[in-house]
Amino acid sequence: MIEQIVMNLCINARDSMAEGGTLTVRTFRLQITGEPHGIPPQPRTGAWACLSVADTGCGMPPSTLQHIFEPFFTTKGPQRGTGLGLATVHNAIAAHHGWIDVASTPGVGSTFTVGIPLAPASVNP
């Protein structure tokens, strides 16, 4: 499922940069101490393995952002997308008890940040 998350986010980023641009993928560890994260925002404390996919593409207005995780919603033209990519991402993240943040500005680009909970380190006696 993690592969589907990475693949779908990267495909959408690529498609948003029809005239070229920069796709940046990074991973990092995040410790949350109660500040809200995700859609909808909910406090989720703990350690998270995070993936960020950022592009310098067309970006999205708020009216589009509110629908992006709905099945069959697409901004791509006919025969270009099914509208299932971000719905699949959202479901895979939920299956892993994670969260997703989205920041997007029209004409500037979008950044999707995913958090998946890290399991506590096991202690061997």
The domain that holds 23 is classified in CATH as 3.30.565.10
In a domain, 92, yes or no: yes
Check: CB of residue 58 under 8 Å from CB of residue 21.
no
Residue with the larger pLDDT of the pair 36 and 99: 99
Q: Is the Cα dihedral 95, 6, 109, 86 positive or negative?
A: negative
Q: What is the value of pTM for the model shown? A: 0.85
Q: Is residue 123 part of a domain?
A: no
Residue 76 lies in a domain: yes
Q: Quote the CA–CA distance of 84 and 38 in Å, as a whole number.
A: 20
Higher-confidence residue: 2 or 6? Answer: 6
Average pLDDT, the chain: 88
Looking at the domain assignment, is residue 27 inside a domain? yes
Looking at residue 74, what is its pLDDT?
82
Domain, as residue range, for 7: 2-117
For residue 125, is it within any domain? no
103: in domain: yes
Q: Which of 100, 121, 1, 103 lies closest to 55 in space, CA to CA?
A: 103
Average pLDDT over residues 91-95: 93
